[in-house]
């Protein structure tokens, strides 16, 4: 039985969610809270698997509560809020604070079949991520043994559920460091991605924006793959790394595909590439990371026991695609040391 705590200051919306969940025999609403403060008092007592969370509430509010849940509890967070609008800065902020997924709250929540199907599916997906989230201490010394002694030509990063918070932890250790071009595939609603790029630039001072067709990747910049198309890299006649965007032929469960990016990185950058796989459900990126390792590149994965969703890094580890397994912030610490050493 999946245990759900519903947090919303609207009694009407709490009632609607309870009704939706009551029609599913595998889901039980173990409690309701009308404020973040009340939710905190219930979390330790009720031990829910999933918290559905409104953002705009009196008092502490949903964003701070999401941060507290991620730090102190193992419950997964599904934001269900009229304040997210799936393309807003609020949605990005919620994901960076630790929310695992987002649904926009419709006015006809109780009778909307699309919303009902979506909220049930997402709660079931999140409840399967039952690995605890202990506080992890970074190693005092970054891992050694990077294969190439040259400064890398690319850092490619893939993430899905829980990925934005992991990406933030990684980039926090790279701020102010010499950087190769950074290219990120993050599975999320396409409308949110430009706001994610904007937020990363504001927080970390790395020039960040959406990648575009034919763009030449430059050191010290971060690009995010747009949603709805696949992204790959190739070398032009001058040896530059160039972005290629391609429509999906209908065969890929994820668009953009992390595997497709990583496989192109292995071909275009080889031993000069670094691939990093962060938190996410499923196995996208595992085969591609193996391609980078076989090409002589460096490969790292977020430690499954610290990832919000351990599926993707676990799949890569199972394929023996990963040379270093670390918490996200420790990956950033290791990369910073490698980049500093090779830029001097």
Could you tell me what percent of the chain has a pLDDT over 70?
A: 93
Catalytic residue among 8, 168, 187, 291: 187
139, pLDDT greater than 60: no
Output DSSP code: residue 190: G
122, pLDDT greater than 60: yes
DSSP H or E segment with residue 210: strand 207-210
Catalytic residue among 279, 284, 291, 314: 284
pLDDT tens column, 327-344: 999 999 999 999 998 887
Q: pLDDT grade, residue 87 (50/70/90)?
A: low
CATH 3.40.50.180 domain position(s) in the chain? 154-343
Write the DSSP string, 25-38: TTEEEEEEESSHHH
Alpha helices in the chain (DSSP H): 11-22, 36-46, 62-72, 89-97, 113-127, 163-171, 193-204, 258-269, 286-294, 311-318, 328-343
Average the pLDDT over each of 138-147, 247-256, 277-286 and give the range with the smallest value. 138-147
Question: Does 137 participate in catalysis according to the annotation?
Answer: no
Catalytic residue among 160, 264, 279, 314: 160
pLDDT, residue 141, reads 41
> CATH fold of 154-343, please?
Rossmann fold (3.40.50)
Question: Does 160 participate in catalysis according to the annotation?
Answer: yes
Question: Does 284 participate in catalysis according to the annotation?
Answer: yes
Q: Are 46 and 3 in contact (CB under 8 A)?
A: yes
Could you tell me what percent of the chain has a pLDDT over 90?
A: 79
Identify the CATH class of 2-127.
Answer: alpha beta
251, pLDDT greater than 60: yes
CATH 3.40.50.2300 domain position(s) in the chain? 2-127
DSSP H or E segment with residue 6: strand 2-7
pLDDT tens column, 263-297: 999 999 999 999 999 999 999 999 999 999 999 99
Q: pLDDT grade, residue 137 (50/70/90)?
A: very low
Cα torsion angle, 102, 108, 114, 118, sign: positive
pLDDT, residue 344, reads 72
168, pLDDT greater than 80: yes
């Amino acid at each position: 039985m999946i245990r759900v705590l519903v947090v919303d200051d609207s009694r009407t919306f709490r009632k609607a969610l309870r009704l939706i969940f009551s029609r599913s025999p595998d889901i039980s609403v173990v409690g309701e809270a009308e404020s973040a403060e009340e939710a905190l008092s219930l979390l330790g007592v009720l031990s829910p698997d999933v918290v559905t969370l409104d953002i705009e509430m009196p008092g502490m509010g949903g964003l701070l509560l999401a941060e507290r849940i991620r730090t102190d509890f193992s419950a997964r967070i599904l934001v269900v809020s009229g304040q997210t609008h799936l393309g807003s800065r609020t949605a990005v902020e919620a994901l960076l604070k630790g929310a695992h997924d987002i649904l926009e709250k419709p006015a006809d929540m109780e009778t909307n079949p699309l919303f009902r199907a979506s909220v049930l599916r997402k709660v079931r997906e999140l409840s399967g991520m039952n690995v605890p989230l202990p506080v992890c201490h970074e190693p005092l010394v970054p891992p050694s043994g990077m294969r190439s002694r040259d400064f890398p030509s690319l850092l490619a990063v893939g993430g899905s559920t829980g990925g934005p918070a992991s990406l933030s932890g990684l980039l926090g250790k790279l701020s102010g460091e010499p950087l190769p071009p950074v290219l990120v595939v993050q599975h999320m609603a396409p409308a949110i991605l430009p706001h994610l790029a904007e937020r990363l630039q504001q927080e970390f001072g790395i020039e960040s924006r959406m990648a575009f067709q034919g763009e030449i990747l430059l050191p010290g910049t971060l690009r995010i793959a747009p949603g709805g198309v696949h992204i790959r890299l190739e070398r032009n006649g001058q040896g530059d790394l160039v972005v290629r965007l391609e429509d999906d032929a209908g065969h890929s469960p994820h668009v953009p595909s992390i595997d497709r990016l990583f496989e192109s990185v292995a071909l275009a950058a080889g031993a000069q590439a670094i691939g990093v796989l962060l938190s996410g459900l499923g196995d996208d990126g595992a085969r591609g990371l193996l391609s980078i390792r076989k090409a002589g590149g460096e490969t790292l994965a977020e430690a499954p026991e610290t990832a919000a969703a351990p599926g993707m890094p676990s799949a890569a580890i199972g394929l023996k695609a990963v040379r270093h397994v670390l918490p996200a912030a420790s990956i950033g610490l290791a990369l910073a040391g490698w980049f500093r050493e090779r830029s001097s």
